[in-house]
Chains A and B, each alone.
Chain A
Amino acid sequence: MEKRKFLIVGCGTAALSALKKMRKINSQDEVKLITMEPYLPYSPTSLPYLLSKRIKESEIPMVTDDFFDQMKAELVRGRRVEHIDIERREVIYDVHGRESYDCLLIATGSEPALPSIPGLNNKHAFHLRTLDDAKKLLWKIKGTRTAIILGAGLIGLHMAECLAERKIKVIVVEMLPQILPAYFDQDASRMIQDVLEKHGVRFFTDHRASEVSWKKNGVEVSLKNGKTLKADLLLIATGVKPRLSFLNASGIKVNEGIVVDSEMRTNVSNIFAAGDVAEAKNFLTGNYGLNPILPNAAEQGKIAGSNIVGRKVEYEGWLPMNAFNYFGHFAISVGKPMPSDGDEVRVEKKEDKGIYKKIIYKDGKLLGASFLDINLHSGVLHYLIKKRAEIRGYEEGLIKMPAEKSLWLMHEAEKKETESLED
C-alpha cells in the first residue's frame, strides 16, 4: 500500500497523543508536525510552575530529544500556518511555505482571550500561554512587588499562587461574584478563596475593570465602582479562545471552535481537529462546546489519531474537570459543578475544618463531584461518570468514605464490563 502523508498543525498534548496513537496502531504512514513554537513541545499548564521555580526550564519539554526520531515523524519548528487550501490539500505557512497532505489534524490549541477594556493592550499586559510569555514574565517579576491579575479562573489562580509563593503581593479582579466559576459552587469557591486570602492574595470579586492606564513604572486599574488599584504588573487571565485565525475563508466549519463530529472529523472529510481548538460534544448534555483542559486534549488527540489511520473510534464527549493545588491544599472537581433541574445533590461541609464534599447524581448515576482536601482518586470519579456506573444506594457512602467507596464502585463496574464482554 502506498504511504499516506499526515500533517499535524500544532505540537501540544493533542498532537502528541495523536502521533503516539498512530504509531501504536502501527501506521507506517509519513507524519509531519508543524508548530509555531521554536522549542520542543511543552504544555502551557506547566508554565505557572516555572514562575514558582517548582520546575526548571530544562524540565519543561514533554518529550525527549529523540522522541520524533523514535516516532519516525518530522517536526518543523518556528513555522506559523497561515492558510489551509482544502481543494489542493495544502497548508500554507510563512507566506511561501507549502506542505501537502492526505490527511490533516488541526491541534493548534488556544490563545489568551483579551477582554475589551479601554487602555488594555497586548504590549504592556502579560499573559502566560507560551514559553516566551513565561520568559518575559520571569524577567519582569524580578523587580515586582505587587501584581494585579484579571480573572479568577484556574490560570489566574495558578499564577496568583505562584506569585504569592515568591512573596509578591497579588490582587485578583473577577467580574463574577465567585472565583473558579467553571468548576465549583459558591460555597466551595468561598472556602478556596479564604485559604488564598490567608496567604496574602487579595480578591475583588464581582468587580469589573473599567479602564487600564499605564504609568512609568506600573499600572493602574480602575474598577467600575470607582476604586483604583495600583501595581507593578498586570496579568491577564480572563480565559482562552481557540487559535484559529488562519482558518478564515478556508471552508472548514467554525463556530466557537472547529466543529467536530464523534470521530473528531471536521466538515471536510480528511481534516480532523482535537484539543482546545475543537468544539465537540459534551458528555453529559450532548451540546457542543469547548473544553480547553489538558486531559481532554489528550483523549481527543488519541481518538483523532486512531480515526486518521483508519481505526474507527467514537468520542463519547468531554467532561468539565480540574484539579487545583493551593498552598498545601487541593480541590478537585469532575463533571457538573452545579445541579440542574431534577438532579439530586448530597453535600457535607464543615467550613471551620475546611471540609467540603459534594456529589450530584440522577437516577443512580453520578454526574458530578467536587471535593476539597479529601484524599481520593479523582480519576476514579471521572471513570464512574463516564461509565455511567450504578451508584444507587451508595450515595451516602460516597460522601462518607469517598476514596474507598469510589474505588469499590469502580472495581464492580470493571467486573461487570468484563463479564458482559465474556457473554
Chain B
Amino acid sequence: MRTFYDTLKIEENGCPPDCFACRKRCEEVKKGKDSGGNGIREVHLPKINFHMAITCNQCTEPACLDACPTGAITKSLTDGIVRISETKCVGCRLCDLACPYGGIHCDVKQKKASKCDLCDGDPQCISICPDHLISLMKARSIVEYLHEDQFLMGSPLCSGCPAELALRLVMRVMGKDTFLFGAPGCACLILSGMGTKSMCLVPSHLSNMTNCPSTMAGVKRYYRRIRKDVRCVAFVGDGCAADVGFQPLSGAAERNENIIFITYDNEGYMNTGIQRSSTTPYMGWTFTSPVGIERRGKQMPPKNLPLIMAAHQIPYVATAVIGYPEDFVKKLTKAMAIKDGMSYIHILSPCIPGWGIDISASIDVCRAAVETNYFPLWEYERGKYCFTYSVDKPKPIGEYIKMMRKFSHLNGKDIDEIQELVNRRFAHIKALTQLSERSSL
C-alpha cells in the first residue's frame, strides 16, 4: 500500500517583496544546532515579479538519499521526513548536486549539509508567514484518518456526478458511527439504493423533504438518551434544504439541534428533470426558467443559503467543493467536533445533464467556481467569518460561465451583469470576514 506523508505546501509566487520572515524564523529555531537553519529560503526576483519561498519537498524517493556516500540521509518510515545525520554527514555536496528542487543547503563553514526537517512535524515557519502562504499538507493524516468507503460500488447516479464523490468523502470522514439521512433527490439513490438492494453500509433513513431535520433531531435525541455518540448526518439537495424543507431546517437551527446538515447544491430540482429552485443562478437555464425571446433564464438572483444558516448563529457553517478535498475534509472534521449544536455545510455540486457540462469536467467546474469567486470557500465558526481559501487574482466569471451550456444564451452584457452580482456577493462575505477580524482585535 502507498503511504502518504506530510509536506510543506507553499503558495506559488505570492510572497511580499523583500520578506524573509520564514528564513529568519528557521534560523532562530535551529540556532545552536550544528546544522540547520537553512530549511527554507526565499527567492525574490522583482524584475520578473517572482517572489516565492523554496524548501524541501520530502520526496518519496529522494535523489539526495541515493547520492549520499555515507548514508547520512534517511527517510523516516513513520513520518516521511527526510533527515540528515550530523555525525555521518561529511559535507561533500553530492546531495545538493542530486536534488533538482534546491531543497538541500550545504554550508561551507560548518562543512555539513542541512535541510528542512519539518521541525519534526510542527513547522515553525507556518505561523510566521505574514500572508499565510505556508501550510502543512496533511495528506498523510487525511488518508490515515479516512475510514473505509461506507458505500458499495456501482451507484445509479449519472457518470461524473460530483455529489457521489462528495458523499463518499463525507462518509469516509464521518466513519461507522453515523446515521445517515436523506430526502427525495439524486443522492437518495445511493443512500437507499434501487429496488431491494441498498449500497449503504451504515444505518440510513430516507425521510420526506419536509421533515428531514425534524426526524434527525428526534433520532439524535434518542441516541443521546441512551448515551451513545452517534452522528446524525443529512445529505440532501438544495430543493429540500432551500425550498421544500426550509422551514424544519430553520427550526432545527433555531433550536440548535446537534445534527450535521450537508446540502449538495446542484442549483435546481435535477432529479425530477431540471426545474428551477431558489438556488438556481441568475439567468441560469432550466425547463421552468426557459430561454426565449422575452425571458433569459431565471429572472432573480439565487438565495444565499449558507449565509442564511449563519444568520441563525449556529456553531458552525461552511461552504465547500469536492474540487478542494483537503479543505472539505478540514470542514467536515470541524463539524464532527461540534457537540453542542448544529453544523451546516453547503457544497456546490455541478450537475452533468442539468448544467450541460462534460462528464469529465465536474471537478474543474468546482474549482473554477472558487477561482472566480462565484462560490467562495468560507466558514463561520462561533460568530466569526473567515475565508478558508484565498484567491489572489480571481478569474473573470466568463471563464466559469463558458464551461456549461445552461449559460450558453448569455451575451457580453449579461456576463457583466453576473460579474457585478458575483462581486457584490463576494464583497458582502468579505465585509463579514473583515468585521470578524476587527472584532477579534
Contacts and interface: CB of A to CB of B under 8 A. Distances in A.
Interface of A: 13, 16-17, 20-21, 24, 42-46, 49, 54-56, 59-64, 294-295, 298-299, 301-302, 321-323, 325, 328-330, 332, 334, 373, 377-380, 382-383, 386, 401, 403-408, 410-411
Given A55-B88, A59-B87, A408-B43, A380 B100 contact: yes
Contacts of A379: 63, 95-102, 104
A46 B70 contact: yes
B93 A325 contact: yes
Contacts of A301: 66
Interface stretch (B45-53, B305-313, B414-422): B45-53
A63 B94 contact: no
Contacts of A383: 100-101
Nearest to B64: A379
Interface string B55-77: 00000010100111111100000
Contact of A332 (B61, B97, B102): B97
A13 B52 CA distance: 35
A380 B70 contact: no
Contacts of B402: none
Given A43-B70, A377-B99, 9 more contacts: A13-B69, A21-B61, A298-B63, A298-B67, A323-B96, A325-B92, A330-B93, A378-B93, A406-B102
Contact of A294 (B48, B69, B72, B91): B69
B102 A407 contact: yes
A56 B48 CA distance: 47
Interface in B7-23: 12
B330 interface: no
Contacts of A410: 100-102
Contacts of B61: 21, 24, 302
A401 B45 contact: yes
A64 B12 CA distance: 38
Contacts of A405: 45
Given A405-B45, A410-B100, A410-B101, A332 B93 contact: yes
B102 A377 contact: yes
B67 A55 contact: no
Contacts of A373: 108
Contacts of A302: 61, 66
Nearest to A12: B69
Contacts of B44: 404
Nearest to A415: B12
A62 B69 contact: yes
Interface of B: 12, 43-45, 48, 50, 52, 54, 61, 63, 66-72, 85, 87-88, 90-102, 104-106, 108-109, 111
B120 to A, nearest CB: 20
A180 to B, nearest CB: 15
A40 to B, nearest CB: 9
B100 A45 contact: no
A295 B69 contact: no
Given A379-B102, A405-B45, A411-B52, A323 B97 contact: yes
User: 8 tightest CB-CB pairs across the interface, nearest first?
Assistant: A62-B71, A383-B100, A43-B69, A323-B93, A377-B102, A45-B69, A298-B66, A379-B99
A408 B109 contact: no
9 contacts: A42-B70, A46-B70, A49-B90, A55-B88, A298-B63, A301-B66, A407-B102, A408-B45, A411-B50
Contacts of A403: 43
B383 to A, nearest CB: 40
Contacts of B45: 401, 404-405, 408
A13 B66 contact: yes
Contacts of B99: 377, 379-380
A369 to B, nearest CB: 12
Contacts of B106: 330
A20 B61 CA distance: 10
Most buried by B among A17, A299, A411: A411
Contacts of B108: 325, 328-330, 373
B97 A322 contact: yes
A321 B90 contact: no
A392 to B, nearest CB: 14
Contact of B91 (A42, A59, A325): A325
Contacts of A63: 71
A122 B106 CA distance: 37
A16 to B, nearest CB: 8
B43 A407 contact: yes
Nearest to B13: A411
A21 B61 CA distance: 9
Most buried by A among B93, B94, B96: B94
Contacts of B100: 379-380, 382-383, 386, 410
A298 B64 CA distance: 10
A378 B66 contact: no
Contacts of A325: 91-93, 108, 111
A410 B111 CA distance: 26
A59 B97 contact: no
B69 A46 contact: yes
Contacts of B67: 13, 294-295, 298
A410 B45 CA distance: 14
A63 B45 CA distance: 41
A303 B195 CA distance: 53
A152 to B, nearest CB: 18
Contacts of A45: 69, 92, 94
A294 B156 CA distance: 56
B90 A55 contact: yes
Most buried by B among A17, A63, A334: A17
A49 B92 contact: yes
A220 to B, nearest CB: 33
B181 to A, nearest CB: 38
A408 B48 contact: yes
Nearest to A41: B71
Contact of A59 (B52, B70, B93, B105): B70
Contacts of A294: 67, 69, 94
B105 to A, nearest CB: 8
A407 B111 CA distance: 23
